[in-house]
Structure 1
């Protein structure tokens, strides 16, 4: 009975304490496509992902009901960094769905016209609003409607201290008349969230830049900022716990720095490691949802534990071929190609033995081979020739009409029946990362589907007689990009190749740029007029060092551009459900295809090759 009554009370008091309008709530999923289109159409970075921002604690004064209910009031605000634009998971700020929807659109417009960096949060947002309204006058009515409604919903000034009331009045003036306020007071609590503005990114380095008025904290602050420079994560919740000697347990807020995302936490930098694994630590931080900082004594080196993905022993690993190949990598931040930045290691599957085509694929292989044999035997008429087996009636008619009106030299009036000539080379590059170890159903993994696809692809191209090669790739950091040779251009497709394909295993990560560069070198050496680079993958570029997010996307994009400049046609086949978020930027709208049912990949791969190359026949 007590639990039942307690549950009712909790629901009641939480609902009363919640200032949002749940009946008018609009979720990010409902508007994700619209805001993405607006963001990119108005100049937003095409590479940036548009995603939902998780709720964060926001240090502001709570109402009496919020204190009773214990409501932490997690706030989801709009911010962006160099990799993504983050918009609230849902908006229920206004009492109507129309206004909440308009707020999503407004935030995407602001983000499209802002870099994400702030020198003074309040002043910069005012200036941004002014610039956007000047550039897009049609948005005046939408903004005025949002601003007026938002100000009307702000808290009553009567319950605030004079300093806080002054801050609130200036915030309201900034919203209603952007650019009119140039000076803001310092207060102990942040004002209520300003949903009409963008916030600085939630990276810990920005959070730690909040200014304090206690001189005793100066040395600690230097250490915080020094530590923050090492952490470039832009998606984490950061906390700072108050020191016991801080005045009244309050933080002094200055808008020229930023509002705190959270309550205080003590700084815990741990011990400094200056070894070559610093980039790995940064990626580990990227995987955390929340970063908590607290002061603590330095930990002994002997107590530290490193966790990493170990490579198999030399006796169990694939067989390396040579000492490796040094390759460049594109650093989009510096806009420079870093020479000899990656080491690619060609390898052969260790346990491969000559093998026949599996029985389960033999019937399908015969069907595909028959289709490709027809492609090989295609014959066609070559028009407008000076001599040939038959008269070209269209060419003769054109010549006859022209000769009646003016003196016309005789052109080719015949047509000749020619056999098909396929002057092309194809290299199939397969992603063998650890994600291919995932199961599609009880009997099949992604890697099993990849093997079947490679086998049927080989059977098909053997039937048509095209020049082709097959490689796989995965990686563990830039110093270990694994490039598995399944068939090179000089080899015949035989049982040795089939055995290598059946021996491949899921690898590690997906450093796609280096693999594409090496594949480009290999196929560029072929003396054919057409060169096709097929890339088979189940996810976006990634690795456990800095090669994540935008860095991997930009490097891969650069590698693809390099291949195109050499006359190579890259084309991607993916089973990644999120492929539409990044593949149009990498390959263009017509440079990839998405297989929604991975089990269909073995049949679809040869069919796609048929479609891509039949125009060259």
Structure 2
């Protein structure tokens, strides 16, 4: 106990004296993530880029004796950007002023907008700094304050060797004057990190695999989304081939030579022990290497199961419909790039509304009664069941004064005032909807109740509506479920199809939206509402993950708006604020924080959108 106490006390003491940070002025990325994203886009950055945490990078520059004793100063987090993300430090506490730390976040965001290729680390960052100050001169005062504060933290030239001192002098000169070109002569050790510049050599994801990942064709090969512990800090990673288990260091005790034991072939290069604290282990690792062997863990466990044949799958309604897809890199629409498969649930059985929803359904029906088409008297008609007295008196008065109009409408008629509106609700039925929100319900159960109550509400109004669901397995297998088409009445058959929905695969949203838009566009109504219900961002097995999927979905929304449709997204994804404003616009989506409240909220939203 005494040894532990002394060790902890010494660790706190030496770390406090070696650490150059200011915890009281710390600014976390989560505090400025939204602001940084807006600032990045306002300066002309790509709107689809996400703001994420940077990874730790090794620092091989000279450290002080105290830092070496404390074991700190050998890692830092540089800012950098790639095709999909802008990566900023997880937190910044470099300066004693909190405002200066915030300004550093904004400065790193600003210089990341300027792109450059070629040249060494110092020339690239000099160019970014120069162009940033030329385009946005209002940032110059902030930059000067950051440079002044940073120079006081950099090593003194007298504490460095001759080569390192010359190197440090070049870096400081480049910080003070970004217009003059400097050549960095590398010394024995690299220079101290420059927090005002981007990463010297941003990490790249490298694939070193003999065969591409296999496309799982069955649900048993796809792991459901479960609530798991997540690492707090992003890690540098690379890919390698899975070890064959035939090489490595073999160790044994000499006394084992005089014993007899049974040999069992076990690959000790990997472990699948559920009791291992793998998240804690990952936190302690500097770099994580993963291997792709084309197999899943589940396939190693399920050895003797009889897998269901395709005859047990849902009913396929056709050979498939070719659907276009947008490639943002080439800025063109790839014709017939995807194939959409219309499907019908095989397990659908006629059913009534679940008893647990009866009370809530009655309340919603009463609210929507006001929208039911009712009979009203329409005046000034050429034909009708009764005289329009006001029009008739005006007719007699005009005739008495010599103004005769033989075609003057003098009748009134009792007519129905119908709503000229159609709505298509497109529900995301991807595998993530199989996750539980509490001990009793999954996301897909909430979506099912939402479809029930939404249909009960619209059935009262008489509005034309359709319900469809979708999931995907790749670009050639986008499943599109006909739950209730426009030309079918809402009956117990429709309720049976709602009751039969189940989680599918992935979320190729662009193809589903394009087909749904075509179905809605055929309706002969003046107002056409496309409601999209989802629990996450677009993704699929292939390159649809990341920015590619976001750009394709956004293009599909733009195409729907050009048709005169009104797209609106309802989501339960907590990270929706990062990408939905870019996809739908800031006023065309709704985040429902309490998932259990979704069934009641959606009809109310429809009421607000259509009144």
Do the structures match in fold with TM over 0.5? yes
State which drifts further: 54-63 or 431-440.
54-63
Matches within 5 A, 1:485-524: 485-524=482-521
**Aligned residue in 1 for 2:293:** 305
Distance between the aligned counterparts of 2:517 and 2:154, measured in 1?
59
Distance between the aligned counterparts of 1:40 and 1:458, measured in 2?
39
**Aligned residue in 1 for 2:140:** 140
**Aligned residue in 2 for 1:66:** 67
Partners of 1:355 and 1:498 within 8 A in 2: yes
Partners of 2:55 and 2:235 within 8 A in 1: no
Relative distance call for 1:292 and 1:384 in structure 2 (3 A) is same
Relative distance call for 1:340 and 1:20 in structure 2 (3 A) is same
**Aligned residue in 2 for 1:242:** none
Q: Any idea what the Cα deviations from partners look like across 1:262-300, whole Å, max 9, x if unmatched?
A: xxxxxxx4x5336887xxxxxxxxx99332578999999
Structure 1 segments unaligned to the other structure (5+ residues):
206-227, 232-268, 278-286, 397-410
Task: Return the match for 2:467 from 446, 453, 470.
Answer: 470
Distance between the aligned counterparts of 2:581 and 2:67, measured in 1?
46
**TM-score (norm. length: structure 2):** 0.78
Relative distance call for 1:353 and 1:601 in structure 2 (3 A) is same
1:163 aligns with 2:163: yes
Relative distance call for 1:379 and 1:179 in structure 2 (3 A) is farther
Distance between the aligned counterparts of 1:359 and 1:380, measured in 2?
36
Q: CA deviation at 1:543?
A: 1.5
Relative distance call for 1:384 and 1:592 in structure 2 (3 A) is farther
Task: Return the match for 2:329 from 330, 333, 346.
Answer: 333
Q: Any idea what the Cα deviations from partners look like across 1:102-137, whole Å, max 9, x if unmatched?
A: 21122222223x137554331121122222222333
Q: Any idea what the Cα deviations from partners look like across 1:344-378, whole Å, max 9, x if unmatched?
A: 21111222111111001112212222222321135
Q: CA deviation at 1:62?
A: 2.7
Partners of 2:535 and 2:571 within 8 A in 1: yes
Distance between the aligned counterparts of 2:187 and 2:410, measured in 1?
90
Partner secondary structure for residue 533 of structure 2:
strand
Q: Any idea what the Cα deviations from partners look like across 1:138-182, whole Å, max 9, x if unmatched?
A: 322221111112112101222323222211110000001112233
Task: Return the match for 2:557 from 551, 557, 560.
Answer: 560
1:115 aligns with 2:110: no
Partner secondary structure for residue 439 of structure 1:
coil
**Aligned residue in 1 for 2:54:** 53
Matches within 5 A, 1:349-368: 349-368=345-364
State which drifts further: 511-520 or 317-326.
317-326
Partner secondary structure for residue 474 of structure 2:
coil
**Aligned residue in 1 for 2:235:** 289
Distance between the aligned counterparts of 1:413 and 1:155, measured in 2?
96
Distance between the aligned counterparts of 2:240 and 2:583, measured in 1?
42
Relative distance call for 1:160 and 1:366 in structure 2 (3 A) is same
Q: CA deviation at 1:58?
A: 2.8
Distance between the aligned counterparts of 1:201 and 1:587, measured in 2?
35
Distance between the aligned counterparts of 2:128 and 2:409, measured in 1?
66
Q: CA deviation at 1:33?
A: 3.0
Matches within 5 A, 1:463-612: 463-612=460-609
**Aligned residue in 2 for 1:345:** 341
State which drifts further: 586-595 or 68-77.
68-77
Distance between the aligned counterparts of 2:181 and 2:162, measured in 1?
18
Partners of 2:536 and 2:571 within 8 A in 1: yes
Relative distance call for 1:386 and 1:312 in structure 2 (3 A) is same
Partners of 1:116 and 1:200 within 8 A in 2: no
Distance between the aligned counterparts of 2:379 and 2:106, measured in 1?
56
Distance between the aligned counterparts of 1:497 and 1:333, measured in 2?
42
Q: CA deviation at 1:431?
A: 0.5
Partners of 2:373 and 2:418 within 8 A in 1: no
Distance between the aligned counterparts of 2:559 and 2:504, measured in 1?
26
Partners of 1:79 and 1:116 within 8 A in 2: no
The RMSD of aligned alpha carbons is 3.3
**Aligned residue in 2 for 1:150:** 150
Partners of 1:391 and 1:414 within 8 A in 2: no
Distance between the aligned counterparts of 1:65 and 1:428, measured in 2?
63
**Aligned residue in 2 for 1:27:** 28
**Aligned residue in 2 for 1:86:** 87
**TM-score (norm. length: structure 1):** 0.78
**Aligned residue in 1 for 2:253:** none
Distance between the aligned counterparts of 1:163 and 1:486, measured in 2?
73
State which drifts further: 100-109 or 373-382.
373-382
Matches within 5 A, 1:181-330: 181-199=181-199, 202-204=202-204, 228=206, 231=207, 269=208, 272-273=210-211, 289-292=235-238, 305-307=293-295, 313-330=309-326
Distance between the aligned counterparts of 1:74 and 1:443, measured in 2?
45
Structure 2 segments unaligned to the other structure (5+ residues):
216-232, 247-266, 268-291, 300-306, 395-407
Relative distance call for 1:185 and 1:607 in structure 2 (3 A) is same
Distance between the aligned counterparts of 1:180 and 1:329, measured in 2?
47
Distance between the aligned counterparts of 1:592 and 1:288, measured in 2?
29
**Aligned residue in 2 for 1:174:** 174
Relative distance call for 1:306 and 1:386 in structure 2 (3 A) is same
Relative distance call for 1:575 and 1:389 in structure 2 (3 A) is farther
**Aligned residue in 2 for 1:98:** 99
**Aligned residue in 1 for 2:8:** 7
Task: Return the match for 1:441 from 426, 438, 441.
Answer: 438
Q: CA deviation at 1:519?
A: 0.8
Relative distance call for 1:295 and 1:64 in structure 2 (3 A) is farther
**Aligned residue in 1 for 2:126:** 126
Relative distance call for 1:379 and 1:153 in structure 2 (3 A) is farther
Distance between the aligned counterparts of 2:50 and 2:105, measured in 1?
15
